[in-house]
Amino acid sequence: MNWEGIFGGLSPASFFNFSFLGKYGGYILQALGYTLLLAVVSVLLAILPALLLAIMRLSKNKLVKTISGAYIAIFRSTPLLVQLSIIYFGLFGAVRIPNTWQLFGFIPLSRFIPGVVALALNSSAYVAEIFRGGILAVDIGQTEAARSLGLPAWPAMKLVVLPQAIKNVLPALANEIITMVKESSICSTLGMAELMFAAKTVAGSTYITLAPYTVVAVIYFCINYPASKGIEAIERRMRRGDRK
């Protein structure tokens, strides 16, 4: 399609001057893949640490509970951009990843891994509270019944409480992935070629100032809005199943 012929007469400041799509459309789609990969991998990596943190928060051991609470407080009370900068320039400034290492041939691991680590550490603090709420939502009678059958505390948690808690938190975990799709845009500040970075690059290269951001906004909306509606449908179905 001749995008320049269709939109070339519009002002560079127009929201609808999409003449750049012919040249940069593939680059934006590549950035979309980078964004989705960042979001999904970050949340998946956050789940196990978050579950451990949630169990630690519920521990009767004051030291264990304090360590978990301090981690959650630090990562929930400081900006993600600050965390990302410390991890990128601090941790991965000392532990260098070769620039030649790439994932799928276009994602440089020297930027992708620090981004995933920062997002996962941040997400684990929020997911930990989701898990803690899910565990506390399980009726205490379930634990008491398991203990009365002779199960020790950890097997009772693993075999009885956690399966029910995970069912409770699945919609919230899906919402966390949606949130992470949006939060991943902060990685653009460090040159990670996700959607926001792609929009900045296209705007800087073509001097078309608004339309690249319009395209990226539409892409984010097309991902997140249907996903949020799907999650609402799953929640309604789960509530109906619980009532039965």
Exposure of 98 by Cβ count < 10 A (0-12 exposed, 13-18 middle, 19+ buried)?
A: exposed
What does the DSSP assignment read for 199-234?
HHHHHHHH---SHHHHHHHHHHHHHHHHHHHHHHHH
pLDDT tens figures, 98-118: 777 777 676 778 888 889 999
What CATH number did the domain enclosing 129 receive?
1.10.3720.10
- What are 235's two structure tokens? 């929640």
Range of the domain at 40: 3-243
Q: Which long-range contacts (CB under 8 A, 24 or more apart) does 108-111 make?
A: 111/187, 111/190, 111/191, 111/192, 111/193
Instruction: Please say whether the beta carbons of 142 and 115 come within 8 A.
Output: no
Q: What is the pTM of this model?
A: 0.82
Total structural domains in the chain?
A: 1
pLDDT tens figures, 113-152: 889 999 999 999 999 998 888 888 888 777 778 777 777 7
Instruction: Please say whether the beta carbons of 196 and 216 come within 8 A.
Output: yes
Please give the Cα distance from 187 to 23 (Å, whole number): 24
